[in-house]
């Protein structure tokens, strides 16, 4: 199979005319994903410097990330020994800190948490100078430089705990995964700050990896994808095509049994079928998302339509039957894996934070490649629900696993990865720094550009600018989203010819209308509203999205929640907590009334920050006291129940008050 991946030059088989090449396309955007001019993409990122998010829902979270989460991360990386490992690799005396303690082997991937932190800081400093972050970052960059061996190798686990065993455990060793995170941090510092120190370290390590595993060398792949997408970004940053060649080689090596079958089968690490043939997502959810992100990157840079179609096919299968209402991905606790189609139990939902983050990273790449708003819809669902729920309002507590139901009587669990409340730092700490880097780069997801104009995908308050063909254009937007569906847009800079402003109409939105300031209707639409005109400075436009509450029912094939409904409004999924139930009652006895009369409550400030709650009419069921919780099948038994008015809260804000019980899916009496 090596021949498939290495024969023939890498060329854009579709040709530049179909590649979406844009006159004046900005390939110097300060962003995690910046396709080259030749790439097969329809949209371009405008980058973090051109997306200034101010005073809104996300601005608050960016601030919390900057002021609390990132500093907290630095102190935890210090306290947990991640930084000490670099000191040891640089020559200090001591033993590798491997997150042992649960009786397992030392974790080999702790360096990656340092790199994710550095990536988050790189994107953050690109947006705003924060002198207090500089010394911490300098220390970490200095440590990486000192720890790197003269031959370029850099992985403190192998240098300190397993010297001589480099590249011997491709299944579990995570060496290329760690290298991938180093590259992504390096790209952030290069693009965001023009600082090439990490880039030099990363390129030296990649050279060492190429000598071992590159095209024509030993045929091996890493058990945890990540390196592939990072290599493509390294190619995009440096122009060195051999990085793209290595990424394509690794992508095409997968699925040929090089990793063999682990205790969870070859599906676990997506080695059961080739990336070109696998029809649906399988195995470890984070691995599948990171792999497909790399697959899309390789596909668009090499013009490989077959590869792009394969990733699209898996994404569609994922959306259709493997995704929780919250956008959470990966059901199984045992192997952190996708289950069978429609196997989506709410209380046993694993939904690792990193899987939803990986899902957003994949959808972003597909949005750039295709221009289709369904990918922005998924990013929105994941960002506001599965991802945001993982971060406490204090900015320094985290969920690793994000279930859609927690039983009121569950014993408190504060260790491991399925904790009953957010904790300061999980022993395996992949998720917290992943949150940091995602949030710090979130403004980049809001707006893209193409030769025709600008596209608004996520609604944020701020100023957004880009160069389109003949010149620079910019607009400001003001919104109370997600609490309100009004987005006010004002053109700040324009050019002397017509261009198109496009606005996503979310798939959940029944009606969207855009009107000019003088009241003239300018558009209505389903997926997007596009307005092409000769925009002038000061032109104003109001987009109004229907934010009526929605009662959502699941596909009956999702057996675990059959007969239940969930409440949604705008991009938010809602939940009920014990704290909002009558004294002594739990969410487990809650049912929806026949006429639930769902209402939007007044906006309020609470333990979890500002929010708009929904309320509905429910019933509190009196539980049967039978000794056996099953009965003869027959007409539905009417049990006594008491009508109650129930207040819900956004799912992302659950888990901040006393009481354990929480549920998204509410049983109906049917």
Considering the complex, what minimum distance in angstroms separates the CB of residue 433 from Zn ion? 9
Q: Write a three-state SS string for 362-412.
A: HHHHHHHHHCCHHHHHHHHHHHHHHHHHHECCCCCCECCECCCEECCCCCC
Choose the stretch contacting Zn ion; rule: CB under 5 A; options: 25-33, 352-360, 583-591, 655-663. Answer: 352-360
Question: Which residues sit opposite 503 in a β-bridge?
Answer: 456, 529
Task: Specify the residue for token string 């668009």.
Answer: 300
Say how many CA atoms lie within 13 Å of 404 toward its Cβ.
27
- Of residues 10 through 49, those in contact with Zn ion by CB under 5 A are none
Closer CB to Zn ion, 431 or 473, in the complex? 431
Q: Write a three-state SS string for 155-181.
A: CHHHHHHCCCCCCCCCCCCCHHHHHHH
Rounded Cα–Cα distance for residues 368 and 40 (Å): 9
Exposure string over 551-578, b if 16+ CB within 10 A, otherwise e: ebebeeebebbeebbbbbbbbbbbbbbb
Choose the stretch contacting Zn ion; rule: CB under 5 A; options: 220-228, 423-431, 479-487, 516-524. Answer: 423-431
Closer CB to Zn ion, 352 or 577, in the complex? 352
Query: What one-character DSSP code corresponds to residue 641?
Result: E
- The answer for residues whose C-beta is within 8 angstroms of residue 248's C-beta and 6 or more apart is 5, 10, 298, 302
Choose the stretch contacting Zn ion; rule: CB under 5 A; options: 121-129, 226-234, 248-256, 344-352. Answer: 344-352
Considering the complex, what minimum distance in angstroms separates the CB of residue 141 from Zn ion? 24
Distances (CA, A) of 259 to 4, 39, 164, 205, 223: 19, 31, 21, 22, 7
Choose the stretch contacting Zn ion; rule: CB under 5 A; options: 39-47, 428-436, 509-517, 600-608. Answer: 428-436
Phi, psi of 140 (to 5 degrees): -70, -40
Closer CB to Zn ion, 426 or 506, in the complex? 426
Choose the stretch contacting Zn ion; rule: CB under 5 A; options: 330-338, 353-361, 410-418, 532-540. Answer: 353-361
Choose the stretch contacting Zn ion; rule: CB under 5 A; options: 329-337, 366-374, 426-434, 477-485. Answer: 426-434
Considering the complex, what minimum distance in angstroms separates the CB of residue 656 from Zn ion? 21
Considering the complex, what minimum distance in angstroms separates the CB of residue 336 from Zn ion? 9
Closer CB to Zn ion, 317 or 431, in the complex? 431
- Of residues 568 through 587, those in contact with Zn ion by CB under 5 A are none
Closer CB to Zn ion, 430 or 438, in the complex? 430
CB-nearest residue to Zn ion: 354
Considering the complex, what minimum distance in angstroms separates the CB of residue 613 from Zn ion? 29
Considering the complex, what minimum distance in angstroms separates the CB of residue 112 from Zn ion? 10
Taking Cα atoms as reference points, which of 375, 395, 401 lies closest to residue 457? 375
Considering the complex, what minimum distance in angstroms separates the CB of residue 436 from Zn ion? 12
Choose the stretch contacting Zn ion; rule: CB under 5 A; options: 216-224, 311-319, 424-432, 613-621. Answer: 424-432
Considering the complex, what minimum distance in angstroms separates the CB of residue 286 from Zn ion? 6
Q: How big is the chain, counted in residues?
A: 670
Rounded Cα–Cα distance for residues 645 and 596 (Å): 9
Taking Cα atoms as reference points, which of 152, 244, 157, 155 lies closest to residue 200? 152
Considering the complex, what minimum distance in angstroms separates the CB of residue 640 from Zn ion? 45
Closer CB to Zn ion, 398 or 459, in the complex? 398
Choose the stretch contacting Zn ion; rule: CB under 5 A; options: 232-240, 307-315, 345-353, 412-420. Answer: 345-353
Does position 431 interact with Zn ion (CB under 5 A)? The reply is: yes
Is 529 within 8 Å of 546 (Cβ atoms)?
Answer: no
Considering the complex, what minimum distance in angstroms separates the CB of residue 68 from Zn ion? 19
Closer CB to Zn ion, 352 or 568, in the complex? 352
Closer CB to Zn ion, 428 or 486, in the complex? 428
Choose the stretch contacting Zn ion; rule: CB under 5 A; options: 75-83, 127-135, 166-174, 431-439. Answer: 431-439
Question: Measured between alpha carbons, how far apart are the two ends of the chain, in Å?
Answer: 55
- Of residues 179 through 208, those in contact with Zn ion by CB under 5 A are none
Considering the complex, what minimum distance in angstroms separates the CB of residue 579 from Zn ion? 27
Taking Cα atoms as reference points, which of 505, 453, 366 lies closest to residue 46? 453
Closer CB to Zn ion, 244 or 430, in the complex? 430
Rounded Cα–Cα distance for residues 147 and 90 (Å): 4
Considering the complex, what minimum distance in angstroms separates the CB of residue 247 from Zn ion? 23
Phi, psi of 303 (to 5 degrees): 65, 30
Number of residues this chain uses to bind Zn ion (CB under 5 A): 4
Within 128-239, where are the H helices?
134-147, 156, 175-193, 197-213, 227-238
Closer CB to Zn ion, 113 or 301, in the complex? 113
Considering the complex, what minimum distance in angstroms separates the CB of residue 261 from Zn ion? 24
Say how many CA atoms lie within 13 Å of 247 toward its Cβ.
34
Does position 430 interact with Zn ion (CB under 5 A)? The reply is: yes
Q: Give the H/E segment covering residue 6.
A: helix 2-6
Phi, psi of 213 (to 5 degrees): -125, 10
Closer CB to Zn ion, 402 or 455, in the complex? 402
Say how many CA atoms lie within 13 Å of 481 toward its Cβ.
27
Closer CB to Zn ion, 431 or 575, in the complex? 431
Residue window 381-420: x/- pattern of binding to Zn ion, with contact defined by CB under 5 A = ----------------------------------------
Does position 354 interact with Zn ion (CB under 5 A)? The reply is: yes
Is 437 within 8 Å of 444 (Cβ atoms)?
Answer: no
Rounded Cα–Cα distance for residues 503 and 524 (Å): 10
Rounded Cα–Cα distance for residues 133 and 155 (Å): 24
Query: What one-character DSSP code corresponds to residue 107?
Result: P
Choose the stretch contacting Zn ion; rule: CB under 5 A; options: 107-115, 148-156, 349-357, 473-481. Answer: 349-357
Closer CB to Zn ion, 294 or 453, in the complex? 294
Closer CB to Zn ion, 390 or 531, in the complex? 390
Considering the complex, what minimum distance in angstroms separates the CB of residue 205 from Zn ion? 23
Considering the complex, what minimum distance in angstroms separates the CB of residue 434 from Zn ion? 6
Site residues (CB under 5 A) for Zn ion? 352, 354, 430-431
């Amino acid at each position: 199979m090596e021949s498939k991946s290495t024969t023939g030059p890498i060329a854009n088989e579709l040709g530049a005319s179909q590649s979406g090449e844009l006159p004046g396309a900005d390939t110097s955007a300060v962003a995690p994903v910046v396709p080259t001019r030749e790439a097969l993409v329809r949209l371009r990122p405008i980058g973090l410097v051109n997306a200034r998010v101010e005073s809104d829902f996300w601005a608050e979270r960016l601030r919390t990330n900057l002021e609390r989460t990132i500093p907290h991360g630095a102190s935890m990386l210090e306290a947990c020994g991640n930084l000490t490992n670099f000191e040891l690799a640089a020559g200090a005396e001591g033993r590798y800190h491997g997150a042992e303690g649960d009786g397992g082997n030392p974790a080999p991937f702790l360096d990656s948490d340092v790199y994710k932190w550095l990536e988050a800081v790189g994107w953050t400093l690109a947006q705003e100078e924060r002198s207090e972050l500089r010394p911490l970052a300098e220390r970490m960059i200095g440590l990486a430089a000192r720890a790197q061996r003269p031959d370029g190798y850099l992985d403190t686990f192998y240098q300190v705990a397993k010297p001589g065993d480099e590249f011997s455990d491709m299944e579990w060793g995570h060496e290329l995964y760690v290298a991938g995170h180093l590259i992504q941090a390096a790209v952030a510092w290069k693009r965001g700050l023009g600082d090439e120190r990490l880039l030099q370290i990363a390129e030296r390590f990649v050279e060492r990896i190429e000598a071992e595993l590159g095209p024509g060398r030993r045929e091996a792949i890493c058990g945890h994808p990540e390196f592939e997408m990072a290599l493509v970004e390294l190619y995009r940053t440096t122009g060195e095509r051999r990085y793209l060649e290595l990424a394509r080689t690794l992508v095409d090596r997968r699925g040929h049994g090089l990793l063999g079958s682990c205790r969870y089968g070859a599906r676990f690490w997506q080695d059961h079928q080739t990336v070109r043939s696998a029809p649906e997502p399988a195995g470890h959810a984070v691995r599948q998302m990171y792999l497909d992100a790399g697959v899309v990157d390789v596909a668009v840079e090499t013009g490989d339509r077959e590869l792009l179609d394969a990733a699209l096919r898996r994404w569609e299968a994922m959306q259709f039957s493997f995704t929780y209402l919250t956008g959470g991905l990966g059901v199984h606790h045992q192997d952190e894996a996708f289950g069978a189609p429609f196997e989506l139990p709410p209380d046993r939902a694993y939904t690792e934070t990193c899987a939803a983050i990986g899902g957003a990273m994949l959808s972003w790449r597909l949005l750039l490649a295709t221009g289709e708003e369904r990918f922005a819809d998924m990013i929105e669902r994941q960002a506001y629900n599965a991802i945001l729920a993982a971060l406490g309002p204090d900015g320094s507590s985290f969920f690793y696993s994000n279930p859609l139901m927690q039983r009121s009587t569950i014993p408190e669990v504060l260790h491991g990865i399925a904790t009953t409340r957010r904790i300061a730092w999980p022993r395996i700490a992949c998720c917290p720094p992943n949150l940091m880097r995602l949030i710090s780069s979130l403004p980049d997801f809001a707006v893209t550009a193409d030769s025709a104009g600008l596209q608004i995908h996520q609604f944020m308050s701020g100023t957004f600018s880009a160069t389109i063909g003949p010149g620079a254009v910019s607009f400001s937007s003001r919104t109370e989203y997600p609490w309100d569906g009004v987005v006010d847009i004002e053109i700040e800079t324009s050019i002397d010819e017509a261009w198109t402003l496009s606005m996503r109409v979310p798939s959940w939105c029944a009606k969207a209308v855009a009107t000019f300031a003088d009241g003239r209707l300018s558009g209505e639409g389903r997926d997007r509203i596009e307005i092409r005109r000769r925009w002038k400075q000061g032109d104003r436009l109001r987009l109004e999205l229907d934010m009526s509450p929605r009662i959502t029912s699941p596909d009956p094939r999702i057996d675990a929640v059959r007969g239940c409904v969930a409440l949604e409004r705008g991009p938010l999924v809602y939940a009920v907590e014990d704290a909002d139930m009558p004294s002594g009652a739990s969410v487990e006895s809650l049912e929806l009334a026949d006429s639930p009369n769902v209402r939007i409550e007044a906006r309020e400030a609470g333990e979890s920050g500002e929010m708009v709650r929904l309320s509905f009419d429910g019933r509190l069921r009196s539980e049967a006291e039978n000794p056996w919780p099953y009965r003869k099948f027959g007409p539905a038994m009417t049990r006594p129940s008491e009508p109650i008015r129930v207040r819900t809260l956004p799912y992302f804000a659950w888990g901040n008050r006393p009481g354990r019980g929480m549920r998204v899916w509410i049983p109906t009496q049917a």
